[in-house]
């Protein structure tokens, strides 16, 4: 009997989606706990910023670069019946990758203080404020300590992406996409374990903000998060190795660039690194700008981005990861066939991305409340994270579509065009975000909760709006160029319009329900309203006999 995971594009995509979903669900639990423990205060800012600091390693050398440079070459060798050559190629790539990663990790640990001083410019003034008694926590010094733990973690996760690339090329998707579950579980265990040891709990599920936790206790808990991330990353990498070595033939660890395929991959790495580098620079600038805003802006953006990235991973990456090896095998042999596969992938991804984007904009407040509310995360934090999430969601469909369109360029051996588009996207995001951010930071909204009044500063929304505008611009450019290459339009407007109408109809009963049960605890309110919306959308899609739903149901079967 054929292996269902290897024998069908649909099954491959659903395995990837389920693996990512398991990891993302645990990621939501992890972020839910961190929100309840840290709220949107100083430690939450450090948590988000320090996790982002070593991302250059992971984003430049990780899965994106593996997809653009390693997987196409390795998959082609397998397709040509050269497993021994493919094994030697994989060994050389691992050796070179390990050398670069170790160098990057050591430099990151050594230069942690200047890195944080530049990247988190808004934290530099904390030392003076602590000395004056205005502030309890020096976010810069705390970030330096955490970044020295985060760099080794990021390095191990890069090596894990090499294992993912090998297994994906062999159409083995279960292991690499479930492995990140170990990383999340380890961090969650560290949070709960250390929190329990020092007498902390994340707060009840629907309670108001609890301000009884001391800064020293939060610092110990924050350290536990980063130690857990380092140990969990090691577990994630080691977990995949048995499966990797079971499929590799002729593997030999080396640093040689003369092995067949290595120079071809390295030639593709340059443009891929340029594109990823621009995206990473844009992310760093977002952090730098966010640290210049009011305390809590960095954390609030992080809470919103967790939900924003979720559908990109589930509905964009799952389809893209399953399709890339197949598109690489097609190559230039049949351009119409490649265009057909890309279009099918777009419709599949958008079928679930459209209700997610519109659902975030309409129901995002209760969704965020269900996940984060309690402990130190109060009503004002809930509103600010919602406004940021709704702004990001304006560009969600474009981001997912762009990720799927990039596959076409990579399969054609063109990594330069996506890199150029990434540069343009980053420039557009900054041009839009900076003036809007500082204009919005002068705006404030007063919230009255019981007997207390709090003020929300809206500068972080500007960063999200800049990202949304830039996403649409990148999508338009990628679609236009790929249309010229493959002779087909990649804008399924009719399907998109039909899906949007279904979403609007599905929002009606969930909105009515929200009105009648708004006094419920945040977690139950969010779960109930979101479940009704999702169930209604799927039911209407079933009644309208949407082919995309039938395809997803076929995958589940």
- DSSP codes of every residue in 378-389: -HHHHHHHHHHH
Coil, helix or strand for 452? strand
For the chain, percent of residues with pLDDT exceeding 90: 26
210 confidence band (pLDDT: 50, 70, 90) = very low
Residue 206's pLDDT is: 41
Mean pLDDT in residue range 526-554: 87
For residue 36, what are the contacts with CB-CB under 8 A and spacing of at least 6?
A: 202, 203, 372, 374, 375, 376, 377
Q: What's the pTM?
A: 0.77
For the chain, percent of residues with pLDDT exceeding 70: 84
Using alpha carbons only, give the angle 286, 457, 366 rounded to the nearest 5 degrees: 90
Query: Contact at 8 Å (CB) between 335 and 487?
Result: yes
Of 301, 293, 278, 317, nearest to 63 by C-alpha is 317
Query: Contact at 8 Å (CB) between 65 and 74?
Result: no
Q: What is the CA radius of gyration of the chain?
A: 23
- Say how many CA atoms lie within 13 Å of 179 toward its Cβ: 27
Q: What is the mean pLDDT of the chain?
A: 82
Q: How far apart are CA 387 and CA 304, in angstroms?
A: 9
Q: How far apart are CA 173 and CA 168, in angstroms?
A: 6
CB atoms within 10 A of CB 303: 28
User: Can you read off the two tokens belonging to residue 470?
Assistant: 């830039």
Residue 62's pLDDT is: 67
205 confidence band (pLDDT: 50, 70, 90) = very low
Mind listing the pLDDT tens digit for each residue in 119-143? 999 899 888 888 888 888 899 999 9
The burial of 1, by beta-carbon neighbours within 10 Å (0-12 exposed, 13-18 middle, 19 or more buried), is given as exposed
Mind listing the pLDDT tens digit for each residue in 280-297? 777 788 888 888 888 888
Whole-Å CA distances, 514 to 449, 507, 521, 534: 19, 10, 12, 14
């Amino acid at each position: 009997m054929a292996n269902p995971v290897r024998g069908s594009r649909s099954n491959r995509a659903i395995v990837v989606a389920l693996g990512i979903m398991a990891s993302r669900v645990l990621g939501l639990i992890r972020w839910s706990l961190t929100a309840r423990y840290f709220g949107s205060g100083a430690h939450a800012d450090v948590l988000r910023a320090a996790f982002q600091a070593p991302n250059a390693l992971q984003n430049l050398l990780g899965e994106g670069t593996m997809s653009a440079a390693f997987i196409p070459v390795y998959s082609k060798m397998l397709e040509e019946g050269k497993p021994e050559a493919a094994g030697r190629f994989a060994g050389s790539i691992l050796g070179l990758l390990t050398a670069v990663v170790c160098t990057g990790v050591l430099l990151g640990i050594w230069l942690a203080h200047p890195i944080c001083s530049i990247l988190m410019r808004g934290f530099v003034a904390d030392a003076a404020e602590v000395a004056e008694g205005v502030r309890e926590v020096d976010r810069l010094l705390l970030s330096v300590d955490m970044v020295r733990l985060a760099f080794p973690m990021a390095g191990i996760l890069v090596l894990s992406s090499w294992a993912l690339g090998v297994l994906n090329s062999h159409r083995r998707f279960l292991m690499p996409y479930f492995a990140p579950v170990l990383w999340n579980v380890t961090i969650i265990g560290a949070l709960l374990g250390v929190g329990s040891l020092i007498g902390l709990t994340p707060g009840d599920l629907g309670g108001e903000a609890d301000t009884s936790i001391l800064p020293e206790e939060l610092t110990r808990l924050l350290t536990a998060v980063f130690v857990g991330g380092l140990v969990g990353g090691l577990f994630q990498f080691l977990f995949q190795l048995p499966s990797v070595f079971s499929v590799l033939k002729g593997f030999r660890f080396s640093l040689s660039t003369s092995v067949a395929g290595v120079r071809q991959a390295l030639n593709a790495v340059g443009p891929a690194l340029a594109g990823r580098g621009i995206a990473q620079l844009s992310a760093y600038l977002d952090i730098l700008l966010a640290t210049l805003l009011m305390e809590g802006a960095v954390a609030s953006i992080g809470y919103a981005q967790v939900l924003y990235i979720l559908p990109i991973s589930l509905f964009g990456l799952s389809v893209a990861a399953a399709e890339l090896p197949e598109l690489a095998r097609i190559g230039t042999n049949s351009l119409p066939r490649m265009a057909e596969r890309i279009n099918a992938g777009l419709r599949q991804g958008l079928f679930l991305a459209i209700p997610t984007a519109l659902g975030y904009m309409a129901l995002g407040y209760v969704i965020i409340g269900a996940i984060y509310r309690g402990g130190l995360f109060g009503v004002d934090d809930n509103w600010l994270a919602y406004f940021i999430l709704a702004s990001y969601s304006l560009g969600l469909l474009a981001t997912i579509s762009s990720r799927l369109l990039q596959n076409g360029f990579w399969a054609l051996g063109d990594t330069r065009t996506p890199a150029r588009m990434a540069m343009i996207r980053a420039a557009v995001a900054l041009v839009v975000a900076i003036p809007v951010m500082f204009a919005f930071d002068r705006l404030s909204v007063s919230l009255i909760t019981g007997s207390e009044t709090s003020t929300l500063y809206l500068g972080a929304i500007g960063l999200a709006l800049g990202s949304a505008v830039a996403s649409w611009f990148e999508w338009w450019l990628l679609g236009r160029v790929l249309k010229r290459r493959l002779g087909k339009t990649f804008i399924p407007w009719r399907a998109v319009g039909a899906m949007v109408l279904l979403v609007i109809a599905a929002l009606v009963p969930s909105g009515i329900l929200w009105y009648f049960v708004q006094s419920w605890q945040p977690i139950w309110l969010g779960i109930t309203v979101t479940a009704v919306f999702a169930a209604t959308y799927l039911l209407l899609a079933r009644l309208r006999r949407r082919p995309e739903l039938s395809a997803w149901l076929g995958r589940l079967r």
